[in-house]
Chain A
Amino acid sequence: MDTTAQRKVKTQPSLPSGPAASASPRLTLSGISKSFPGVRALHNVSLSLYPGQVTALIGENGAGKSTLVKIMTGIYQPDSGEIGIDGQATTLPSAHAAFGHGITAIHQETVLFDDLSVAENIFLGHAPRTRFGTIDWRTMRKNAREVLETMRAGHIDADARLKDLGIANKHLVAVARAMSIDARIVIMDEPTAALSMKEIEELFLLIEFLKSEGKAVLFISHKFDEIYRIADRYTVFRDGEMVGEGLLKDTGQNEIVRMMVGRNVDHIFPQRKPKIGVPVLSVSGLSHPTEFDDIGFELRKGEILGFYGLVGAGRSEVMQAIAGITRTSRGAISLDGQTIAPRSAADSIEAGIVYVPEERGKQGVVIGLPIFQNVSLPSLGRTSKSGMLRLAEEFSLARSYTERLDLRASSLSQDVGTLSGGNQQKVVIAKWLATTPKVIILDEPTKGIDIGSKAAVHGFIAELVAQGLSVIMVSSELPEILGMSDRVVVMREGRIAATYDNKGLDAETLVRTAAGIAA
């Protein structure tokens, strides 16, 4: 992508923000309620989006944000309440209808078509037609190129297959799609989740561009620094209700957090008195043909070793290799002085190294199985007797670990899929702790979970380490890395760039090392 310096987006003088200037909202939702069997997702919520302004939607997981987005994009129908667009009462009975009103959404994982071309992705569903009603490919490709040019993304080849693009470019294509239907309302759901810092900057420039074009933008995010940078207004949801809204310039961060959580959260990071011992895990010369090279580090007993880097630096890949999930081409791993060569996750679990994966839904929980079966899954050898299941043992195992993690669930036999993201993460962590490992590798352990659960997880990690466990924590969240780690390893493009002691370490140093920028 072009560097920030070269990408000067031509902006008109920005519309003055504030309720006085933007007379009427483009989209209003009022009194919206939506329930599912056993769950009241939304109760009497309201939200307004103003043209040329960014409204941040803030709330914990399970607060109802994604349900609201689905209502706004026509996927769900509200049980009650009204939707108004430009002052007119409207209904959005289908995705198609929402599309027709110019409402478009950009999701965390791009919901586009990998095997189709960029041009087709931009115009699917509203492709230009020839006289005979068939699809006019030439015009489509021309229009696609034009739209991408307007967004200063002309470097993207309109004929390329989407699957060959990186995630930042895929986001651009999603925005191009919004531009192509002349979207008037753009919803962005955690769009920066998988982006590097540089790409985030460029996304913000794009959002400024959308603002200048008069679009009403809804920006959903957990990250306060981003919210305060890009958004004008905010709305806070908690437990399916709207608990606050207003202008960001008039409201402090703590106030918003209080609205989100309903209580004061003073210390996000636990105070620790680390008792660090001898090295327990040593890695040297670990290499993979395409993902990482010559990785070497030590993890000491009772230590939290942070692994920082830009997205795509190769951290997860290294950890998955240590956990036996991927093969390495060379290198040595030793645990407590013994060399180990795990060829599968089962091997490394047996040795005492466990890996808590990044993608909770796909790699962490088994949806369809109850909570207690999820927790006992890697430990079935211990809870069963000569291959026969012993449910009492499984329940007791699950109970002890889930209670320590303060799991919110109605019963241990409940399907894990019905839990919120934060609680699912607790189940995953419980599952791994139940194997009584020596080393636990956490890959983005608090990604996408609410502040309350985050604090619980951090507190718990601190407890474990105090009891003698050793932790590697891969994270892209600077506060988390700085708040939790004893030492920090920074990776860049598949190699280790530097290792720091966390004494007087600041965010800037980490970012510079990760990006390869000289001081």
Chain B
Amino acid sequence: MTDTPAPRHIPDRLDKPLSSAIFSWEALLIVIAVAIFAINSFASPYFLDPWSLSDLTFNFTEKGLIALAMALLIISGEIDLSVAAIVALASTMMGMAVQAGAGTPVLVAIGVVVGLGCGAFNGLLVTRLGLPSIVVTIGTMSLFRGIAFIILGDQAYKGYPESFAFFGQGYVWWVFSFELALFLVAALIYWFVLHRTSFGRRVFAIGNNPVACQFSGVRVARIKFILFCLTGLMSGIASVLITSRLGSTRPSIAQGYELEAITMVVLGGVSILGGAGSILGVVLAAFIMGLVTFGLGLLNVPGIVMSIFIGLLLIIVIALPIVWRRLREGRFA
């Protein structure tokens, strides 16, 4: 026999969990959130009011719902640029139903089902035909919104029933809106699914190496299809909320939401290349973006200038750790 040493014991972990928590991305986001919160409080006297803060939440809950599903999709290595267009199409469908006299339950069902259907369409194109998701969803983005335009043109649907307004405008308790409650519940569910289930583990694995996963018996295509459906579903739900809040439908609804959702995801620490990220990070990022846009809104900054801040925030937060590390190593590129 060869003179092999006795089997060596390998410990489970080496890291001290506390130190890795302190220096994590989420910790950085918490610091940023607190800082911006503080800045906002000083910048405007209207900020620190419970109802004001409640209004703030409307800035991020709808996009945040989409971002939750988008995060899982990006972690798995795909992307969906058509989410805003799905919102538009679902909203248009709901508008048509309203014209036909449908009641609130039917409207909600339509919104959700149309979202799910669009997501499934994306999913089929990507998983069945093996097409790259970035260009496929650029195509479906035009297609879905295009259909909304064909149906509605430059008109708008109004006349939503009163009960429908609850989703986007109603409150569950005191200052907590239905939207906020829904977002928090959804965030909890997504956190659980991503970080505590075998499904979530497989999502991470696929994002790191889909081929090895295929060989390891992970049903990659099925999981990715589900993720596209989820993204569509969340877009459908967001569409119900947005339409309910606005009380009307236009084909141009939710313009630019896809980029904001992706910004939330990336800002939240999810790698755009896939394989890593956390729901906590995405929730914090959503909150930060809400803080920034709401705070600027209180200062009467126009929307388009607000987006400069969002763009800068994205780039700076991504660049910060890289620059920090370079400076510490004593070389700047």
A contact set with B: CB distance below 8 Å: 263-267, 325, 344-346, 349-350, 355, 357, 362-369, 372-373, 377-378, 380-381, 384, 387-389, 395, 399, 402-404, 406-414, 431, 455-456, 459
Contacts and interface: CB of A to CB of B under 8 A. Distances in A.
A345 B115 CA distance: 32
B14 A403 contact: no
A363 B211 CA distance: 6
A384 B198 contact: yes
18 contacts: A267-B2, A345-B214, A345-B215, A364-B215, A365-B209, A365-B212, A368-B208, A369-B208, A373-B205, A377-B201, A377-B217, A387-B197, A388-B198, A389-B197, A395-B12, A403-B10, A412-B10, A412-B11
B143 interface: no
Contacts of B9: 403
Contacts of A369: 204-205, 208
B276 interface: yes
A252 to B, nearest CB: 20
Nearest to A356: B215
Nearest to B3: A263
A102 B14 CA distance: 45
Given A368-B209, A406-B4, A411-B12, A388 B214 contact: no
B16 interface: no
B302 interface: no
Interface of B: 1-5, 7-15, 196-202, 204-205, 207-209, 211-219, 275-276
Given A366-B205, A372-B12, A387-B198, A377 B7 contact: no
A411 B11 contact: yes
Contact of B213 (A366, A384, A387): A366
Contacts of B205: 366, 369, 373, 377
A414 B208 contact: no
B216 A411 contact: no
A367 B209 contact: yes
A263 B3 CA distance: 9
B9 to A, nearest CB: 7
A357 B4 CA distance: 27
Given A265-B2, A369-B205, A411 B197 contact: no
Given A346-B219, A388-B197, A404-B7, A364 B212 contact: yes
Nearest to A407: B10
A380 B201 contact: yes
A352 to B, nearest CB: 12
A472 to B, nearest CB: 16
Given A388-B197, A406-B5, 16 more contacts: A265-B2, A362-B211, A362-B212, A369-B208, A372-B12, A373-B201, A377-B218, A380-B198, A380-B201, A380-B202, A387-B197, A389-B196, A389-B197, A411-B14, A412-B13, A459-B2
B10 A378 contact: no
A3 to B, nearest CB: 37
A414 B207 CA distance: 18
Contacts of A378: 216-218
B12 A399 contact: yes
Given A325-B214, A369-B208, A387 B14 contact: no
A402 B208 CA distance: 22
Contacts of A357: 215
Nearest to A370: B13
Contacts of A365: 209, 212
Nearest to B197: A387
Contacts of B12: 372, 395, 399, 411-413
Contacts of A344: 217, 219
Given A411-B11, A411-B14, A413-B14, A367 B3 contact: no
Contacts of A459: 2
A459 B3 CA distance: 13
A363 B220 CA distance: 14
A103 to B, nearest CB: 25
A357 B209 CA distance: 14
Contacts of A363: 211-212, 215
A473 to B, nearest CB: 17
Contacts of B207: 368
A469 B232 CA distance: 46
B217 A389 contact: no
A345 B212 contact: no
B211 A402 contact: no
A402 B196 CA distance: 24
Given A380-B201, A387-B197, A399 B10 contact: yes
A346 B218 contact: yes
Contacts of A350: 217
B13 A346 contact: no
Contacts of A263: 3
Contact of A367 (B8, B208, B216): B208
B90 to A, nearest CB: 29
B20 to A, nearest CB: 11
A402 B11 CA distance: 11
The residue among A264, A367, A377, A407 with the most chain B CB atoms within 10 A of its own CB is: A377
A389 B201 contact: yes
B14 A414 contact: yes
Contacts of A367: 208-209
A369 to B, nearest CB: 6
Contacts of B4: 406, 456
A346 B8 contact: no
Contact of A349 (B3, B200, B217): B217
B216 A388 contact: no
A242 B276 CA distance: 39
Given A344-B219, A345-B216, A381 B198 contact: yes
A325 B211 CA distance: 11
A263 B218 CA distance: 41
A325 B207 CA distance: 20
A384 B4 CA distance: 35
Nearest to A372: B12
Contacts of B275: 368
Contacts of A346: 217-219
A403 B8 CA distance: 6
